Amino acid sequence: MLKTATPGGYIPAVQNALADRPDIAGVASSELSLGANSGWSRSGFDYKGEAKDVFEYFIDPDYMQVLGIQLPAGRNFDLSLSSDTVSAVIVNETMVRDFGWTPDNAVGRN
C-alpha cells in the first residue's frame, strides 16, 4: 500500500537542487527505501472478519513517474485534492488479489 507523503524539512531543498542538474532525469521522495530487507511500515486491520496486514510506503506524487511505474487502474496522487494528502492509497496487484478484488473494482474502495 502506498500513501502520499508530504515532504518536509530539508527534502524540498534537496529535490530542488537535484532537479536543476541536467544529468538527473527526475527527483522523487519516499519515506522508506524499497527492496528486500529494506525499511517498511506495517499496519493491521480487520477486513470482512479477517485480520489483514499491509505494508505502507509513503511517497510523493512524482515517485511513480520517476520510477516509470504504470498503474493498471486508477490514478496517481494529486496534491490539489486534499483527500490525497491524508487518506488516498495506491495498492499493488498482490493486495488486490489478497483482498479478492479486481483492478476494476479495487478503485474507490475504503
Percentage of residues in the chain with pLDDT exceeding 90? Answer: 31
| Alpha-carbon span 93 to 98, nearest angstrom | 9
Task: With a cut of 70, say whether residue 55 has pLDDT above it.
Answer: yes
**How many whole angstroms separate alpha carbon 70 and alpha carbon 59?**
15
Q: Tell me: pLDDT of 1 over 50.
A: no
The cell for 84 is 490525497
**Between 41 and 76, the higher pLDDT residue:** 76
- d(CA 96, CA 85) in angstroms, rounded, equals 22
Distance CA 82, CA 38 (A): 30
Grid cell, residue 101, equals 478484488
CB 41 within 8 A of CB 31: yes
pLDDT at res. 42: 81
pTM: 0.73
- Secondary structure class of 88 (helix, strand, coil): coil
Give me 46's grid cell. 480487520
Domain ranges for the chain: 2-105
